[in-house]
Chains A and B, each alone.
Chain A
């Protein structure tokens, strides 16, 4: 279980996360919010890329800061943007991430095969990443996040740049992974998480506005609509769009 307690973080005088509290158990969580809502900051703190000003994050009751490398062992992260080595082949990149994640030597090959199959990259896994299309790069990043079977996986815009067919495949993949894992998906593509996410975390101006299921959100903010309408209702501030 991942527990976030009284989390605060500011940049200069601007408070970007205000007193965030939530408890996450196995399943998919959608993280919704407009640009500047604090999504990236929250993800960066969970992934230990950033430090909080106050508050704590607990993994199974232990502070992640104290857990150090053993927390990173159970963590998978897919950042936004396609940060990859163009000179590596897809296989080599996954091999590298497996080594970084301390996947046992004997399991590396099978793990690479497993994640490659999951993201449908078998045909091009031996090609250099420099020759990949945007969608293929996105898929290799998803594969790198799930390699080593981490217990907590954070995806930042995982379906951006994918064609509809691949989006459905990725959605199914993430759904199937969530049985024994906590998966956090930050996205602007609301339909992607509508049916998949157990709970939606809505962040507005650094405040965790809601932490509930999409059905309840729809009921509360857009009784006759869908999650996209909820998003508009919360974040449009009465603007005509």
Chain B
């Protein structure tokens, strides 16, 4: 018990860990508020849900239905009245006519709500449109719950029909077994009582992926502190010799890991629970979970509170499994780079399995049972499903939970086994490891320069050669699996832009004008057909048939708007030309300041170079370096040079793959045209070609990338500890990127990859020198720090 306490104390007294924990906890809190205050979903605030939950409290299902329906009908009616009033104000006589027709069609509700529409109170959202959207959502939810028993009967009827179909009607048939099992389970649910509850609170509590992400980071740090730090500080020998060493220590570590996993989950998911409980309100937590629309197809017989507990326990199970995996890797491998690399490969394999195994295949078990599939805890319980493993049929919920528990036990046993083995081998008596340690690639090669040694240290001692090979394989795999087919809309746009490509001339103007006329004509024809349908001249079906060709023409109208916009832009900016810009926009990060390519690059850069400086402190060789003629400035210089050259390869691989991918998919035409042909760069000098801008863009990116390299090195020298240097580097560089991608969170702490800054003339004169100055500063700091 005491050892568990000390293992936990190791973490609690680790200031940086606590700091990172608190920061992530705080960011999680900001995210909770993000949808509530900053960008409410559909403009509906949490207050609306809370008010409705409170209004529905104490009502039975039927009363709730009447209440919701009344609210919905009222909101819908008043919205129709507003529409009628707006149409009446229109200059277009047809619209005024349509307003009258609409009023006649809705005479009853018009009369009923007309007076109220003059000064209505929108209790939940404050305005008519949002209130209608809100109540539509609620009504849909209610209808799903209210039709619960009907849906169950439908499932049972359907399964009966399928069972009777001859192709399934064989005793060995796996599909038949699955159908029978499903119908049996749903039949047992027929007695379940439902009483609608607003689902938002539970939905939000159980589906905030960003919290999972933060929890995983914390667990990652935690697992590594428990093992790698001990290794780095050579404490294993001491533990071995203590009375409570070895077995007790490893068991205590695992128990500490479990306790911490639960505590971290309580603190993060508990925060989510409390936050949404307070802001969204709660209905009857003792209603069956099927009273929530998202769980009507679930077959677990629990109430909402019990479900939340199950969710929490499953989350803990998953997080504990993952933490054990990291823990095991940290015991097995000696350096953080190796752990990260293997972890990355494992996650990649899981991702490939998740994406590659089809839900209908006969091994669909693996679609759900992998590190990616399991993260969505709700999916384990939300719908009853049978998973197949060849001829075996198993309930998805049971098997996923069972397999997680089995894996946990396996990892516990492996960790204990490996830990004890490491100890009793005095860390290096294993024959295979000994052989590997004896393996020498450069047996007879003599190096004559500090540079060569630094290259050797980076590539072979720190295994960055392996990292670059994995990076190439990873990038190649991604490239190979990239879908290069254009969507219909994109293809249409591309074809048009190919035709218009180049400077605007009379011929092109004519093409555009003609197309616009065609759209106008089609639009008019459609209006006329609608009029005829309204007046009874054409039946609805006839109207549909006649209007089809015009609708086909107008289907591309919204895409052509982009071309029309370009046309007008070029007329205002005579130096601009028609350029098919989708590829350029992607390349220049116009739509999103961050791409996955940036994330891969950052991860691999950090893993590759982090250890090069730290190894001198970890091994203690720094004391010799400091006393040698070439050991200070020269060594630091060479280290920086080697990492910059190495990372340049990573940069080139990443950039070239991205450019080729974009070129293959969209093409990069008209490079010689002025950069202002791309509207987003309208403020740049018109005499600059796209090609010149492309070169400048990549130069800026490259010097920004050097800044990242120097920053990682600076951090590594500041902390002199792999784990914390890694955490801080990832924290500063990667989290803003990931947040940007996951939640489109427009805060990027690292602005130099953000092209929006480069859109302005002045930015060229400010941005580049700023980055260069920071680079020089970081470079000097790195060199001085090694001194």
Q: Point out residues on A near B: beta carbons under 8 Å.
A: 47-49, 69-70, 72-73, 75-77, 79, 81-89, 92, 95-97, 99-102, 105, 108-109, 126-128, 130-131, 144
Q: Is B449 an interface position by the 8 A CB rule?
A: yes
Residue of A whose beta carbon sits closest to that of B619:
A83
Kindly identify, within residues 607 to 634 of chain B, every residue whose CB is under 8 Å from any CB belonging to chain A. 615, 619-631
From A69, A96, A126, A130, B428 is in contact (CB under 8 Å) with A130
- Do B437 and A131 have beta carbons less than 8 Å apart? yes
**Do the beta carbons of B628 and A97 come within 8 Å of each other?**
yes
Chain A residues lying within 8 Å of B19, measured Cβ to Cβ, are none
Q: Does the CB pair A130–B437 fall under 8 Å?
A: yes
Determine which of B428, B447, B450, B629 lies in contact with A73 in the assembled complex, contact meaning CB atoms within 8 Å: B629
- Distance of A216 from chain B, by nearest CB (Å): 31
- Quick check: which of B220-228, B453-461, B503-511, B713-721 contacts chain A, the rest being far away? B453-461
CB neighbours (8 Å) of A73 from chain B are: 629
Residue contact B448 to A79, C-beta cutoff 8 Å: no
Q: Is the CB of B630 within 8 A of A49?
A: no
User: What is the distance, in angstroms, from B660's C-beta to the closest C-beta of chain A?
Assistant: 36
Q: Considering the complex of A and B, which 4 residue pairs feature the smallest CB-CB distances, nearest first?
A: A83-B620, A100-B628, A87-B461, A79-B623
Contact, CB under 8 Å: A85 / B457 = yes
B480 within 8 A of A: no
A95→B453 CA distance, assembly (Å):
9
B-side interface residues toward A, CB under 8 Å? Answer: 428, 434, 437-438, 440, 442-443, 446-450, 453, 456-457, 460-461, 615, 619-631, 635
Q: Is the CB of A100 within 8 A of B622?
A: no
Listed A/B pairs (18) with beta-carbon separation below 8 Å: A47-B626, A48-B627, A49-B623, A69-B629, A72-B627, A72-B631, A73-B629, A77-B624, A77-B627, A81-B620, A83-B621, A83-B622, A84-B621, A85-B457, A99-B447, A100-B625, A128-B438, A131-B428
**Chain A residues closer than 8 Å to B631, beta-carbon distance:** 72, 100
Q: Is the CB of A85 within 8 A of B627?
A: no
Q: A77 to chain B: which residues have CB within 8 Å?
A: 623-624, 627
- Checking A69, A99, A102 against B453 with a beta-carbon cut-off of 8 angstroms, the contacting residue is A99
Q: With A77-B624, A81-B620, A101-B628 given, can you name 7 additional A-B contacts, CB distance below 8 Å?
A: A49-B627, A77-B623, A83-B624, A99-B447, A100-B624, A105-B448, A128-B440
B629 close to A72 (CB less than 8 A): yes
Q: Is the CB of B624 within 8 A of A109?
A: no
In the complex, are the beta carbons of B624 and A144 less than 8 A apart? yes
Q: Report B-chain residues with C-beta under 8 Å of the C-beta of A92.
A: 442, 447, 456
**Which residues of A have CB within 8 Å of B434?**
131
With both beta carbons as reference points, the residue of chain A lying nearest to B622 in the complex is identified as A83
Of A69, A85, A100, most buried by chain B (CB within 10 Å of CB) is: A100
A105 vs chain B, min Cβ distance (A): 5
Q: Are the C-beta atoms of B627 and A75 separated by less than 8 Å? A: yes
In the complex, what distance in Å separates the CA atom of A77 from the CA atom of B627?
Answer: 7
Chain B residues whose CB sits within 8 angstroms of the CB of A83 once the complex forms: 619-624
Cross-chain contact of B620 among A75, A79, A87 (Cβ < 8 A) = A79
Q: Which residues from chain B contact A96 at a C-beta distance below 8 Å?
A: 447, 453
Give the Cβ gap from A101 to chain B, nearest Cβ, in Å: 5
| Shortest distance between the CB of B441 and any CB in chain A (Å) | 10
- Give the complex CA separation of A84 and B626 in angstroms: 14
What's the least CB distance linking B623 to chain A, in Å?
4
- Given A47-B627, A130-B437, answer yes or no on A100-B620 (Cβ-Cβ < 8 Å): no
Complex formed: what's the CA distance from A66 to B723 in Å?
Answer: 38
B446 touches A100 (CB 8 A): no
Complex Cα distance A150/B448, Å?
Answer: 19
**Could you tell me the distance between the alpha carbons of A76 and B457 in the complex, rounded to whole angstroms?**
23
A126 in contact with B440 (CB, 8 Å): yes
Complex: how many Å from CA A70 to CA B428? 40
Question: How close is B479's CB to chain A, nearest CB, in angstroms?
Answer: 33
Nearest CB on A from B231, distance (A):
12
User: Complex Cα distance A101/B626, Å?
Assistant: 11
Chain A minimum-CB-distance residue to B442 = A92
Which residue of B has the minimal Cβ distance to A88?
A: B461
B627 CB, min distance to chain A CBs, angstroms: 4
- B440, A79: Cβ atoms closer than 8 Å: no
- Beta-carbon contact of A82 and B437 below 8 Å: no
**Contacts A77-B624, A85-B615, A108-B446 given: A100-B438 contact, CB under 8 Å?**
no
Contact between chains at B619 and A100 (CB < 8 Å): no
Chain B residues in 8 Å Cβ range of A48: 626-627
- The answer to whether residues A127 and B438 also contact, given A79-B623, A85-B621 and a CB cut-off of 8 A, is yes
- Taking the closest CB of chain B, its distance from the CB of A94, in whole angstroms, is 11
- Let me know if A101 and B619 touch, CB within 8 A: no
Find chain B residues with CB under 8 A from A79 CB: 620, 623-624
Q: Are B627 and A99 in contact (CB under 8 A)?
A: no
Q: How far is the CA of A47 from the CA of B438 in the complex (A)?
A: 34
Given A49-B626, A87-B461, A131-B434, does the pair A99, B449 have CB atoms closer than 8 Å? yes
Q: What's the Cα separation between A99 and B453 when bound, in Å?
A: 9
Residue of A81, A102, A105, A126 near B629 (CB, 8 A) is A102
Q: Which of A70, A97, A102, A126 touches B624 (beta carbons < 8 Å)?
A: A97
Q: Assess the A87–B629 pair: CB atoms within 8 A.
A: no
Q: Are B623 and A108 in contact (CB under 8 A)?
A: no
Closest to A69 in B: B629
Chain B residues with Cβ under 8 A from A70's Cβ? 629
CA distance A48 to B628 in the complex (A): 10
* B contact residues around A75 at 8 Å (CB): 627-628
A89 neighbours in B (Cβ, 8 Å): 440, 443
CB distance from A12 to the nearest CB of B (A): 20
